[in-house]
């Protein structure tokens, strides 16, 4: 079949163009449009807007906090999942507040429809189906895109969020074919255009498990995992009254692999593309395929599998933990060896997908490319894995593209501001050799970057950007004032020896009070909750809501640790203030170690703090660089 090209035509001008409408592209386009920019969102298929081609869920450790941060800054993901979830659970409730994580099971089709409708109804935003084949670049500045239909769209800034469609290739056993996620079209020409422009592209891989018919699962042989009774939300705007009772939520179901499954995998490794050499892309460390798990953790005789509903209007279930690229027939045999799935019908096989990534050391912290001005990239295109990581980057790229179009200064989140700041700094400073996933361990300031305080950290920034309304900001400020007033009050209320509070203290194995104790000091003890404290002291004039109570409790219980982190943050801010000139020539600086010189020249950090985080740059290099900056 002969392939012909469309004749090109001038199709109009926009302030911002976003390419790809996945989780990154949706946030980027909405942010740019809401800031007052005429925005065009171009995507290969309108059926794939904010689609979940892998796990039908959002949140979890670190990632759930990112969704809260997106919401606090004025993004859409939190609101969208609050309208379309089928189950909510708070994870790590037995641990400290720094690692607590909200996770929602999504109705993936409702999630897509709701986000598409939000985009369609946004006044400054135009949604268009087409494949972007090329960029319009003049004198090193990106000023538009060219689609497969011949349309030439002009813009002041362009954001690429192409994801796994970038020269995507699906692999199932010996079968390989060109494809984007979920059998959508691949974007081949755009990758070729980026290479022509001089970008360094890497090849990554990710995978997905088979989907099975829920009517053929033996649920009695599995363990039910219901949602939580306590109301939870990702958006700070969602009221507790909107929370679904557990009886209206859909359960997940837990089962396990077993030695028979593992034996079958080992016997067929010659047909696993990961081990036969068919897959060249680097896979995600924290989301390995089942064949990888069995080989790497040979001592484990079972691995958890969660059977997750894909939505209310479908019986498809996602087999979480069984990501694989084995041939279809072996996938069916594996499923039938698993407890509860002995007679299950596989509806879609799992697959691996290889795709192109823009090596992220080629980006500024604004997510603008260093090579081409006014061109931004976000999402899996930058080497991350996960919907939440993509959406967080999309929001920042959209904000910065929008601000560039409006002639405003760029916006950058620091590592001490948000997990989004940690992620972007990791990408642009350290790069990544595998799909990057956010983990709480990547953040130095975990106790400051919590799930519960994302609004207190970021909402004022969102308001200054024009993405958060006056009403939202006022509600956050009122909450902040309520919490501060209650903490102040608790420091003045005293509990006397021999009181009911003293008896409560002794009942918990503590010594009797010798002197009076403030209510604030009692609340700092691990066995006392705020509601228990109110049994011994007068209630505040205006009772606190659940979120304000939680703030009072966390801020008092962890006060000492939080203050220590704040000291570290202030030290970091002083280093962040030491800017490195953009045109610095590292060859002119005497005394730098060879590796340090090479790394600094490649990554070109913008501050001394960023330079300090580059692997291979030692403290002596930093001292020399600091002196050089002061004198030049």
Q: How many domains does the chain have?
A: 3
What is the CATH classification number for the domain harbouring 491?
1.10.10.1800
The verdict on residue 121 lying in a domain is yes
Confidence band of 632 (pLDDT split at 50, 70, 90) = confident
Confidence band of 250 (pLDDT split at 50, 70, 90) = very high
Q: Given a cut of 70, is residue 461 above it in pLDDT?
A: yes
Specify the pTM: 0.96
The verdict on residue 573 lying in a domain is no
Confidence band of 276 (pLDDT split at 50, 70, 90) = confident
Same domain, 409 and 551: no
What is the CATH classification number for the domain harbouring 593?
1.10.150.570
Confidence band of 3 (pLDDT split at 50, 70, 90) = low
The verdict on residue 120 lying in a domain is yes
Mean pLDDT, residues 191-201 taken together: 98
Q: Which residues neighbour 31 within 8 Å (Cβ) at sequence distance 6 or greater?
A: 74, 75, 394, 395, 398, 399, 402, 467
Mean pLDDT, residues 434-454 taken together: 94
Same domain, 398 and 488: no
Where is the binding site for FAD, in residues?
20-25
Same domain, 490 and 463: no
What is the CATH classification number for the domain harbouring 82?
3.50.50.60
Q: Given a cut of 70, is residue 34 above it in pLDDT?
A: yes
Same domain, 300 and 244: yes
The verdict on residue 412 lying in a domain is yes
Mean pLDDT, residues 201-223 taken together: 98
Instruction: Please tell me the distance from the alpha carbon of residue 39 to that of residue 415, in angstroms, as a whole number.
Output: 29
Quick: pLDDT tens for 499-555: 999 999 999 999 999 999 999 999 999 999 999 999 999 999 999 999 999 999 999
Same domain, 106 and 211: yes
Same domain, 491 and 344: no
DSSP state of 99: S
| CB-CB contact of 93 with 100 (8 Å) | yes
Same domain, 122 and 241: yes
Q: Out of 85-99, 335-349, 470-484, which region has the weakest mean confidence (pLDDT)?
A: 85-99
The verdict on residue 569 lying in a domain is no
Same domain, 484 and 611: no
Same domain, 423 and 553: no
Same domain, 264 and 287: yes
Where is the binding site, in residues?
20-25, 283-297
The verdict on residue 423 lying in a domain is yes
Quick: pLDDT tens for 311-362: 999 999 999 999 999 999 999 999 999 999 999 999 999 999 999 999 999 9
Same domain, 306 and 384: yes
Mean pLDDT, residues 103-129 taken together: 99
Full residue range of the structural domain in which residue 485 is found: 470-564
- Of 411, 442, 467, the last residue of a domain is 467
Confidence band of 556 (pLDDT split at 50, 70, 90) = very high
DSSP state of 373: B
Q: Given a cut of 50, is residue 166 above it in pLDDT?
A: yes
The verdict on residue 570 lying in a domain is no
Quick: pLDDT tens for 577-590: 899 999 999 999 99
Predicted confidence at residue 280, as pLDDT, reads: 83
Where is the binding site for NAD(+), in residues?
283-297
The two structure tokens encoding residue 236: 């700070």
CB atoms within 10 A of CB 55: 21
Confidence band of 1 (pLDDT split at 50, 70, 90) = very low
- Of 564, 590, 622, the last residue of a domain is 564
Same domain, 400 and 533: no
Helix 387-405 and helix 63-73, axial crossing angle in degrees, nearest 10: 30
Instruction: Please tell me the distance from the alpha carbon of residue 230 to that of residue 84, in angstroms, as a whole number.
Output: 18
Q: Which residues neighbour 253 within 8 Å (Cβ) at sequence distance 6 or greater?
A: 217, 219, 222, 223, 224, 225, 306, 307, 340
The verdict on residue 252 lying in a domain is yes
What average pLDDT is seen over the chain?
96
């Amino acid at each position: 079949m002969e392939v012909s090209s469309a004749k090109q035509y001038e199709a109009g001008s926009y302030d911002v163009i976003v390419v790809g409408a996945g989780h990154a592209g949706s946030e980027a386009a909405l942010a740019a449009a809401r800031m007052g920019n005429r925005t065009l969102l171009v995507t290969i298929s309108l059926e794939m807007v904010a689609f979940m081609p892998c796990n039908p869920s959002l949140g979890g450790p670190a990632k759930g906090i990112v969704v809260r941060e997106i919401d606090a800054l004025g993004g859409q993901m939190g609101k969208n999942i609050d309208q379309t979830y089928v189950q909510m659970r708070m994870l790590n409730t037995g641990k400290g507040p720094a690692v607590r994580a909200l996770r929602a099971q999504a109705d993936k089709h409702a999630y897509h429809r709701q986000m598409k409708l939000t985009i369609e109804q946004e006044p400054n935003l135009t949604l268009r189906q087409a494949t972007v084949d090329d960029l319009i670049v003049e004198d090193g500045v990106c000023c538009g895109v060219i689609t497969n239909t011949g349309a030439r769209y002009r813009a002041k800034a362009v954001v690429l969020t192409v994801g796994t469609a970038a020269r995507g290739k699906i692999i199932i056993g010996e079968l390989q074919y060109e494809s984007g996620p979920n059998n959508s079209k691949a974007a081949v020409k755009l990758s070729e255009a980026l290479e022509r422009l001089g970008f360094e592209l890497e090849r990554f891989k990710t995978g997905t498990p088979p989907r099975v018919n829920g009517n053929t699962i033996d649920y009695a042989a599995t363990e039910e995992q219901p949602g939580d009774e306590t109301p939870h939300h990702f958006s700070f705007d969602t009221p507790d009254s909107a929370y679904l009772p557990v009886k209206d939520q859909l359960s997940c179901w837990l089962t396990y692999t077993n030695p028979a499954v593992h034996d079958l995998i080992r016997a067929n490794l010659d047909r696993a593309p990961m081990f036969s050499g068919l897959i060249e892309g680097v896979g995600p460390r924290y989301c390995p395929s089942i064949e990888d798990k069995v080989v790497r953790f040979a001592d484990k005789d079972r691995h958890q599998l969660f059977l997750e509903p894909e939505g209310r209007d479908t019986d498809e279930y996602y087999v979480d933990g069984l990501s694989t690229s084995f041939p279809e027939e072996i996938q069916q045999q594996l499923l039938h060896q698993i407890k509860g799935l002995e007679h299950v019908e596989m509806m879609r096989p799992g697959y691996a997908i290889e795709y192109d990534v823009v090596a992220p050391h080629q980006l500024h912290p604004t997510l603008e490319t260093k090579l081409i001005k006014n061109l931004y990239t976000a999402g899996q295109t930058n080497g991350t894995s996960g919907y939440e990581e993509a959406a967080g980057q999309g929001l920042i790229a959209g904000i910065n593209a929008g601000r560039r179009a409006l002639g405003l200064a760029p916006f950058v989140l620091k590592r001490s501001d948000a997990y989004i700041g940690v992620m972007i700094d990791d990408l642009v400073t350290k790069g990544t050799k595998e799909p990057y996933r956010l983990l709480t361990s990547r953040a130095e300031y975990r106790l400051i970057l919590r799930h519960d305080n994302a609004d207190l950290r970021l909402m004022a920034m969102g308001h200054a950007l024009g993405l958060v309304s006056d009403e939202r900001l006022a509600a956050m400020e009122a909450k902040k004032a309520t919490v501060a007033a209650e903490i102040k009050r608790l420091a003045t209320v005293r509990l006397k020896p021999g009181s009911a509070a003293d008896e409560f203290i002794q009942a918990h194995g503590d010594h009797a009070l010798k002197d009076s104790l403030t209510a604030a000091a009692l609340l700092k003890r691990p066995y006392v909750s705020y509601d228990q404290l109110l049994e011994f002291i007068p209630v505040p004039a205006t009772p606190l809501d659940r979120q304000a109570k939680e703030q009072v409790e966390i801020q008092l219980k962890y006060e000492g640790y939080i203050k220590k982190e704040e000291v570290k943050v202030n030290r970091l801010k002083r280093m962040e203030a030491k800017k490195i000139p953009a045109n610095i020539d590292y060859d002119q600086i005497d005394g730098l170690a060879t590796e340090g010189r090479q790394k600094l020249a490649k990554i070109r950090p913008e501050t001394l703090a960023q330079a300090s985080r580059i692997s291979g740059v030692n403290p002596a290099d930093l001292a020399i660089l600091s002196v050089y900056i002061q004198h030049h």
